[in-house]
């Protein structure tokens, strides 16, 4: 029986969607919209206590935290190279990058709130937007540094689930920080987006629902 992924196109659920395609185990997608109230329905609330996507029905259970889902799938499924072995020298690096994606993700989430969901200008804080943009730009330096030794992915051994976690985050981060100063990161993101599984996941999910422009400048003031 196929897994069921409760998803909003362009949200953190894309990480799970993409990883499942990398594993050759695509899920049935149940689509929601960010502002239509569908996340508040009793059936969904029973699957995700925070009323957020993703929620993944798999292996007789429901999981609702994207990083945990990604790690669980890597550990529960065999025959792949998406996770270094427990005794590998790269295991600690893999875990760190896996979760560093959420360091960037927190900044993206804060900027999403300011730019996209606080509809009135008086609700927005240019000061907060400026601080969060700078923090995101600083956090991106670690990605750029990791890629400057000529490697194609975060681990020297090649593509892994850490790249899945990070790729989604970078595709959102580029809306707020220009990647001109991060050429290795920009090229890395394009490599990730060219993967067959990435493109299959995009097709399964449909167009992202969040951004209406390629880049969001800081407001004046």
Domain ranges, ordered by start, for the chain: 91-195
CATH 1.10.357.10 fits 91-195, yes or no: no
Q: What is the pLDDT of residue 221?
A: 59
- As a whole number of angstroms, the distance between CA 73 and CA 108 comes to 25
Note the pLDDT tens digit of each residue in 67-116. 999 999 999 999 999 999 999 999 999 999 999 999 999 999 999 999 99
- As a whole number of angstroms, the distance between CA 25 and CA 14 comes to 14
What mean pLDDT value characterizes the chain? Answer: 96
Q: What is the pLDDT of residue 149?
A: 87
Q: What is the pLDDT of residue 182?
A: 98
Look at residue 40 and tell me whether its pLDDT is greater than 80.
yes
Look at residue 169 and tell me whether its pLDDT is greater than 90.
yes
4-7, strands of its sheet edge to edge:
28-31, 4-7, 55-58, 61-63
Look at residue 179 and tell me whether its pLDDT is greater than 80.
yes
Note the pLDDT tens digit of each residue in 41-50. 999 999 999 9
Look at residue 220 and tell me whether its pLDDT is greater than 90.
no
Region 165-185 average pLDDT: 98
Q: What is the pLDDT of residue 126?
A: 95
Note the pLDDT tens digit of each residue in 108-130. 999 999 999 998 999 999 999 99
- As a whole number of angstroms, the distance between CA 81 and CA 157 comes to 9
């Amino acid at each position: 029986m196929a897994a069921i992924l409760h998803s909003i196109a362009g949200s953190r659920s894309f990480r799970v969607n993409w990883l499942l395609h990398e594993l050759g185990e695509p899920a049935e997608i149940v689509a929601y919209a960010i502002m239509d109230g569908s996340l508040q329905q009793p059936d969904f609330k029973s699957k995700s206590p925070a009323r957020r996507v993703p929620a993944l029905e798999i292996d007789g259970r429901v999981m609702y935290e994207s990083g945990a889902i990604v790690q669980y799938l890597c550990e529960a499924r065999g025959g792949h190279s998406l996770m270094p072995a427990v005794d590998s020298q790269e295991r600690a690096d893999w875990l760190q990058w896996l979760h560093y994606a959420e360091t960037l993700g927190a900044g993206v989430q804060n900027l999403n709130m300011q730019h996209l969901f606080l509809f009135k200008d008086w609700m927005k804080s240019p000061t907060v937007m400026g601080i969060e943009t700078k923090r995101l730009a600083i956090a991106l330096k670690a990605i750029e540094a990791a890629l400057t030794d000529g490697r194609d992915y975060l681990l020297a051994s090649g593509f892994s689930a850490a790249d899945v976690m990070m790729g989604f985050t970078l595709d959102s981060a580029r809306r707020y920080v220009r990647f001109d100063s991060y050429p290795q990161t920009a090229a890395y993101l394009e490599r990730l987006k060219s993967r067959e599984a990435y493109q299959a996941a995009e097709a399964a999910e449909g167009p992202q629902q969040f951004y209406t422009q390629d880049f969001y400048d800081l407001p004046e003031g």
